[in-house]
Structure 1
Amino acid sequence: TYQGLLALPGVGDYTASAIASAAFGRREAAVDGNVLRVVMRLTDCRDDIADPKVKKAVRAQIQAVMPEAEADIRVFNQATMELGATVCAPNGPPRCLECPAMAFCQGRLRGTAEDLPVKGAKKPRRVEEKTVFLLVRDGKIALRKRPGTGLLAGLWEFPNVEGALDEAAAGAAVSVWGLEPRQWESRLTAKHIFTHVEWHMTGYTLEVAGDGPADFVWADAGALSDRAVPSAFGRYYTEAAARLKEE
């Protein structure tokens, strides 16, 4: 079902609808960017397609006119997506004279199709400063699991704190974890861009003594490769793997 698919991690509205209709013949409208553009032009709608409420309203509109038979549902969703990808296309004027909907498309009849859809300016990404630690102890490096909800939920990360810390402040942060800095080895900077946020990272590799917090896992090279560390920490992962290889 659509709701069952939507409950899966990483599955959003479009993916759930597309799978439910294509794989299981469910009467669910699959609204991607192409379909959204087609409907905005068909109805001469000037609402901002960046507004989630608008996309929800479009899905309801399409849902109301979808066919009932399984085979027709699959064809309908595929056809509306294909129409937007090939005829009512982005990045240029729509090919209205080739469109099967030309007779009733309000955007074509009113001469507004080329100006649609309306999309508001994106909000600038929020920049977050982080300090990432490659904490080395007895040939192993500290990892911890991220929270079960939110950005990169449930994946593994190298311990980090908010802010771009200099070495003195970084040493104090390590001490708060109950670890003793023994030898500072390298400093690495990196940046990772998500959809709505940008991480600017300062990283330190250092030898430490002590056990650290209970949620720290001390991983050797094999344990590191077995754990899912997101690409946001890619530069630090490469450094960690190289450092453990030396052990």
Structure 2
Amino acid sequence: MIPLICRWYREHRRDLPWRQGKNAYHTWVSEIMLQQTRVEAVIPYYERFLSELPTVQALAACPEDRLLKLWEGLGYYNRVRNMQKAARIVTDGAGTELEKYFSGAPEIPGRQEETEIVKALLALPGIGNYTAGAIASIAFDLPVPAVDGNVLRVLSRVWGDNRDIMKQSVRRSYEQALEKAMRTVFSDKNTDVIQTEDSENNKSAQMVEYLLPGDLNQGFMDLGALVCIPNGSPLCGQCPLGERRLCRAHISGREQEFPVKEQKKARKIEHRTILLIHDGKKVVLRRRPEKGLLASMYEFPNYYGILNRKQVLQEVKDMGMNPVRVRKLEPSKHIFSHIEWHMTGYEVLMEENEGRTTGCLYQKPATSPWILAEAAEVRTKYAIPSAYEAYASLLGRMIDG
């Protein structure tokens, strides 16, 4: 099975920017971005991120506000916070052993260093078994599995496995089985002999290629994304395993029954009221608390529940401002992994300047201060969660006229 997937990957691999050469830092950035985010959506973020933060040292030194702005739109912001924490560990005195592997083209560790490298990766914030396996195999050619949803789906169909793949015990058993197979196949000089046709001499020829652990893990990723797809019918006619009758689900015609997953619980719904308070030039923002959902990001004034116009007017007056006009906006919805925000919006036009300049308006106990920010800078300077995208876009149109 492993040589078939490696060969298929070499022939059908997707051309992605993080696959241009071996670079542990590039692999790390791409794998963190790809968590919970589609490949097509990640590409422009990846290119922008690396353009501004081309090295692990640059990531470690980046100011938090700028870091969050670079990540804006990808969501799950703890991912990039953990990346920076890890980058600082890698680049300070305690991370000198790892730093040499994350600087440019990686120094390929010997097999005797393999355990230490994986252990050091797993000790970094935000890096679990999958990400450590991806970095170790793709950048360092180490036989370490990277088991994600694609691998679980492909192997559950190949093996006809009726176990729930959402259980950690099942995932771990897949990791152990794959690791054992990889250590057997990927010896120091393991090769794949490929038959080719020599057209000039009208005879068969043989081409020898090394089998690489990174090709297997990326082959699973691409096979799951392009062929052994999660929704609809898998394209078994294009699968190197299906055509060799190595897939039990395909042989029995039960592809749609795998993988087995426990049904997710329904998300909690939260109703919120969002206020776009502006004077045509400045807009009211608040920085969220340092911990919790959307930590340290900027947001528009918002309240639990659905406020009516009278309640909105009172809230704005309580903030010490004089509203000139209140207009109801179209509702919006944003889905997090565990909750849904159903949002009602209002535009609140206030008197221009009102004698204030950009800065703190007021501060309630246990909350961050509201600020008056230049509306033109909301898109470029402040990291606004994608949950507010509909209202941020609307604000831009309002200000632009």
Give the TM-score normalised by structure 1. Answer: 0.76
1:29 maps to amino acid: P
5+ residue gaps, structure 2, are 1-116, 189-210
Give the TM-score normalised by structure 2. Answer: 0.50
1:212 maps to amino acid: Y
- Alignment partner of 1:185 is 2:326: yes
Aligned to 2:170: 54
SS of structure 2 residue aligned to 1:168: helix
Q: Using the alignment, how far apart are the partners of 1:61 and 1:33 within structure 2?
A: 16
SS of structure 1 residue aligned to 2:147: coil
Deviation at 1:234? 1.8
Deviation at 1:32? 2.9
Deviation at 1:148? 3.6
Aligned to 1:223: 377
Cα deviation, 1:148-185, whole Å, max 9, x if unaligned, reads: 44433332211211111112223343355x32443233
SS of structure 2 residue aligned to 1:28: coil
**Could you say which structure has the higher helix fraction?**
2
Q: Is the 8 A contact 2:137 2:214 kept in 1?
A: yes
Aligned length: 242
Aligned to 2:218: 78
Q: Using the alignment, how far apart are the partners of 1:41 and 1:156 within structure 2?
A: 44
Aligned CA distance change for structure 1 residues 108 and 221 (closer, same or farther; 3 Å): closer
SS of structure 2 residue aligned to 1:66: helix
Cα deviation, 1:184-204, whole Å, max 9, x if unaligned, reads: 331112222333322111122
SS of structure 1 residue aligned to 2:325: strand
- Alignment partner of 1:45 is 2:161: yes
Aligned to 1:7: 125
Deviation at 1:36? 0.6
Which residue of 304, 307, 315 maps to 1:165?
307
Q: Which stretch of structure 1 is more off in the superposition, 25-34 or 92-101? A: 92-101
Aligned to 2:263: 121
Aligned CA distance change for structure 1 residues 113 and 242 (closer, same or farther; 3 Å): closer
Q: Is the 8 A contact 1:96 1:108 kept in 2?
A: no
- Alignment partner of 1:35 is 2:151: yes
SS of structure 2 residue aligned to 1:236: helix
Equivalent positions of 1:205-224 (< 5 A) are 205-206=347-348, 207=350, 211-213=361-363, 215-224=369-378
Q: Using the alignment, how far apart are the partners of 1:13 and 1:179 within structure 2?
A: 51
Equivalent positions of 1:78-97 (< 5 A) are 78-84=218-224, 88=228, 90=230, 91-92=232-233, 94=236
5+ residue gaps, structure 1, are none
Which residue of 146, 154, 161 maps to 2:288?
146
Aligned CA distance change for structure 1 residues 186 and 106 (closer, same or farther; 3 Å): same
Q: Using the alignment, how far apart are the partners of 2:233 and 2:221 within structure 1?
A: 17
Q: Is the 8 A contact 2:151 2:224 kept in 1?
A: yes
Which residue of 344, 367, 370 maps to 1:202?
344
Deviation at 1:48? 1.9
Aligned to 2:388: 233
Q: Using the alignment, how far apart are the partners of 1:6 and 1:223 within structure 2?
A: 34
